[in-house]
Amino acid sequence: MKTQRKILATLMGLVLISGCNPRAPGHGVFLLIDTSGTYTEELAKARAIVNFLLGRLGPGDSFGVARIDSGSFSEKDILVRMTFDERPSVANDQKRQFKQQVDDFTSRISSSSHTDITGGMLQGVEWLNEVGPGRKTILVFSDMEEDLAAGQVRDFPIDMMGVDVIALNVTKLRSDNVDPREYLNRLQAWEARVVDGGGTWRVINDLERIEAIMDN
Amino acid sequence: MPSGMLIWPDNPGLSALTWVLLAVVAMYAARAPAHRAIRGFTRVISRSARLLSHSMMQLQGRMSERSREILLQHGMENSDRQIQREFERISTSVSRDLGSYPSLHRKLSDHVTKLDEDYRKSTDTPPDPPGWASALEMANQLVDKAEGDKSVGKAIQALHKGFQEAYDTTMSTYRQQSQERHGMLKRMRPVWKNVDETLIKVDGTVTGILERGQHIDQMMDTYREISGKTDRAERLLGSSALTQFLISGLVLAIACLGGFINFQLIALPMSEMVGATSQLGGMKTSAVAALVIIMVEITMGLFLMESLRITRLFPIIGSMDERTRKRMMWATFGILLTLASIESSLAYMRDLLAADRASLSQVLSGIQASEPEFRWIPAVGQMVMGFILPFALTFVAIPLESFVHSARVVLSHAVEGILRLVAFLFRLIGSLVRYLGDGLVNVYDIVIFLPLKVEELILSGRAVKTATKNADAAAG
C-alpha cells in the first residue's frame, strides 16, 4: 500500500513538473523591411506595423526587425531584436526602447541599390530557430521583387519548417501594371519556395486587416 | 418475391398465394407451441421489468429511510446546538445581570431601611393647637376682666405674654421641624428613583430570562418531535433543507462572483512575481498562484469560522480545548490579515501595471502620454477591495455549511424521485409487454382464422353427432 502511494506521489510530481514549463512557448516575430529603391517611401507604414506588433506581443515573446538591403544575410542588418521579459512591467520598458530604436533607424535610413529578400529570410529563420519560440512568424514588408547583386547565390531551397511567412504591403511595380501576370507569378514563386521549405505563406496587402497577422 | 421462391415461375401471384397458404397451415400446426413461446417470452420480459421495478422501489425505500435518518439526525444536532446556545446565552445573562443580585438585594434592603427610617423620622407630630388657642383666649379674657386690678392684670398679662411667647416658640420649632422633614422627604426622592431603577433592571432581566425560557420550551418541543421521529418533524426539516439549499446556493453563487473579481484583481500583478509566461497544467502559473491565494484565504476563513464555533464542518477543531482553539483562531486571523494586506498591495500594483500599459499604448499610437486626473480614486478603490474581499470571503463558510448539509438531503430526495420514476417506467414496461403478448397471440389467431374456423365447425359437428347418439341411447 505504501509503495503504491509512493508511486502515485511520484507520478503526480512528474505530471506537475512536466506541466511546469519555465520558458513559455511564446511567439517569435521577425520583420524584414525593404529599404531598396522607392520602397523607402513606405516606411511610415512599417513603423505602424512595428507599433502594432509591440502592442500585441506579450511578455516572453520575441521580436526582431531587420532591413533588406543588397546583402541581407548579415547580423549587421538586424536593427533590433529582443525577447521580452516575463515580467510585464519590464517588458513594457523593453518595448519603449524597441520603439525608440526603430524610430531612430527609420529616420536615418538610406536606400539600398539591391534587394536580397532570400538573405533576409534566411537570417530570420536562423534567428527564430535560435530563440526557439512556440510559434514562428516572418513578416516581409516588401514588393517581393528580388534584385540580387552580381555573384550572390540564393537559388537554393530554404528550410522553413514551422515558419509562417506573411508578405505585407506587396506593392505593384510599373511592369506589373503592364502585365499583371508578373505580379502573380512573383507571389506564386515565393509561395512555392516557402511551402516547399515546410512553411506557410500568406499575403496581407490591406493594412486595415493588420490584426490578421496575429491569427493562427 | 425472389425468383428462387417462385413455385410457378410464370404465375407469381399463385406462387405467393401458395406460400401464404403453406405458412397459414404451418402456423396452425405450430399454434400451441407458438402461443407458449409468445406468452413465455413476454412473461419473462414482463416479470423482469416488474422485478426491476420492485428492486428500484426497495432501493428507493432504503434511500428514503437513510435520508430520513440523516435529516432527523441533522435536525436533532441542529436543535441540540440551538438549545445549547440558548442555555449559554441564559447562563451569560444570568451571570452578567443576576450574578450581582445578592449585592443588589443588599443595596435594595439598605435603601428600603433608610427609606423606612427617614419616613418614620418625617412623621408629623404637630402641637395641639386647640389647647394653646383656648389658653390664650382665657388669658385674654382674664386680662380684660382684671382691668381694675392692676397687679393681677399685670400678672395675667405677663402670663399671657409668656403663653404667647411659648406658643410662638413652639410653632416656630414645629415649622422648622416640618421644613426639615420636608427636606428629608425631598432627599428621599433620588433614593426612591434608585430603588425604582434597580427594580426595573431586575424586572427586565427576569423578563428576558423568562422569554428565553419560553423560547427554550418551544425548541424543546421541536427537539421532542424530532427525537420522536414524527412525520411533521420530517416534513418541517425537509422543507427547511430545501429552503436552505436554495438560499445557500444563491449566496455561494454570489460568493463565487466575488471570488472571480478577487481573482481578476490579483492575477495580473501575480505575473510580476511568478512571470507571465510559465504554465502549470495548461494554465498560466500567475493565474494558478492567484487561485491558490484565494483558495488559501477561503480555507483560512473556514478555519476561522470553525475556531469561532460559528460553523461545524471540522469536528476536530470544535472539539479542541479552549486554549488551542483560541490560538488557532488568532493564527488563522493573522494569516488572513497578512493575505489581505498582500492582496491590497497586489491590487495597487495592478493599477500601476494598467497605467503603464495604457501609457505604452498611447506612446505606440503616437499620442502624447498623459496622466489622467483622479487616477488615485480607482487605485484606492482597488486597494480597499483587495483588503476587504478576503474577509468577505471568510463568511462563505456559513452558506457552505448549510449547502453541504442541505445538499445531502435535497440530492437524496432527487435520487429518490428518479428511482421512483424509473420503477414506474419498469412497471409500465412490464404491463405493456404482458398485454403485448396477449395481443400477439390474438394477432396470430387472426392470421390463421380460416383453419381455426374449419376446426371449430368440425368440432361443433362432432359435438352435435355425439349429443344425438347419446339422446338416442337414452331413448332406446
Minimum distance, in Å, between the CA of residue B313 and any CA atom of chain A: 27
Q: Which residue in the set B278, B279, B364 is minimally distant from A51, CB to CB?
A: B364
The CATH number of residue A113's host domain is 3.40.50.410
Query: Any idea what DSSP says for residue A136?
Result: E
Residues of chain B positioned with their CB less than 8 A from the CB of A24: 276-279
Confidence of residue A19 (pLDDT cuts 50, 70, 90): very low
Contact B278 A89 (CB under 8 A): no
Read off the pLDDT of residues B159-176 as tens digits, 9 standing for 90 and up: 778 878 887 888 888 888
pLDDT at A31: 93
Under a CB-based contact definition with an 8 Å cutoff, are residues B332 and B310 in contact?
A: no
Residue B58 has what pLDDT? 92
Mean per-residue pLDDT for B339-367?
87
CA dihedral B150, B153, B159, B165 (to 10 degrees): -90
Residues of A in contact with B277 (CB under 8 A): 23-24, 26, 58-60, 86
The three cell numbers locating residue B340: 489581505
Burial (CB < 10 A; 0-12, 13-18, 19+), residue B345, is: middle
Which residue, among A18, A49, A87, would best test binding to B if mutated, counting the most B CBs under 10 Å from its CB? A87
Q: Do B275 and A54 touch (CB under 8 A)?
A: no
User: Quick one: pLDDT band at residue A14, thresholds 50, 70, 90?
Assistant: very low
DSSP A156: S
What was the pLDDT predicted at A5? 52
- Whether A12 maps to a domain, the answer reads no
- Residues 6 or more apart whose CB falls under 8 angstroms from that of B274 comprise B285, B286, B289
**Nearest residue of B to residue A88, measured between CA atoms:** B272
Percent of chain A with pLDDT strictly greater than 70: 87
| Beta carbons of B239 and B400 less than 8 angstroms apart | no
Assess A95–B contact: CB distance below 8 Å, yes or no. Answer: yes
Q: Which amino acid, one-letter code, is at A46?
A: A
DSSP assignment letter at B93 = H
Task: Give the whole-angstrom CA distance, residue B175 versus residue B165.
Answer: 15
The verdict on residue A11 lying in a domain is no
pLDDT at A201: 92
Q: What pLDDT was estimated at residue B354? A: 86
pLDDT of residue B363: 83
CB B369 within 8 A of CB B362: yes
Report how far apart the first and last C-alpha atoms of chain A are (Å, whole number).
48
- For B332, the grid coordinates are 488563522
| Predicted confidence (pLDDT) at residue A133 exceeds the cutoff of 80 | yes
C-beta contacts of B231-235 below 8 A and 24+ residues apart: B233/B72, B233/B75, B234/B68, B234/B71, B234/B72
B388, three cell numbers? 476587504
What is the rounded end-to-end Cα distance, in angstroms, of chain B? 62
**pLDDT digits 0-9 by tens, B9-62:** 788 888 888 899 899 999 999 999 999 999 999 999 999 999 999 999 999 888
Outline where chain A has alpha helix (H): 2-19, 43-56, 88-107, 117-131, 174-178, 180-196
User: Order of strands, edge to edge, in the sheet holding A78-83?
Assistant: A78-83, A62-68, A27-34, A135-141, A163-168, A200-204
Q: Which residues of B touch A91 (CB under 8 A)?
A: 276
User: Tens digits of per-residue pLDDT, B102-111?
Assistant: 777 787 788 7
Got the DSSP string for B232-280? HHHHHHHHHHHHHHHHHHHHHHHHHHHHHHHHHHHHHHHHHHH-SS-EE
What pLDDT does residue B336 have? 94
Q: How many CB atoms lie within 10 A of CB B369?
A: 12
- In this prediction, residues A63-70 reach a mean pLDDT of 88
Check residues B456 and B234 and name the one with the higher pLDDT: B456
pLDDT of residue A103: 87
* Residue-wise pLDDT tens digits, B388-440: 999 999 999 999 998 988 888 888 889 999 999 999 999 999 999 999 999 99
- pLDDT value, residue A155: 82
Q: Which domain holds residue A117?
A: 26-214
**CA gap A188, A166 in Å, rounded:** 13
Could you give the number of structural domains in chain A?
1
Task: State the pLDDT at residue A18.
Answer: 45
d(CA B306, CA B395): 11
> B81-85, B116-120, B283-287 — which one is most confidently predicted on average?
B283-287
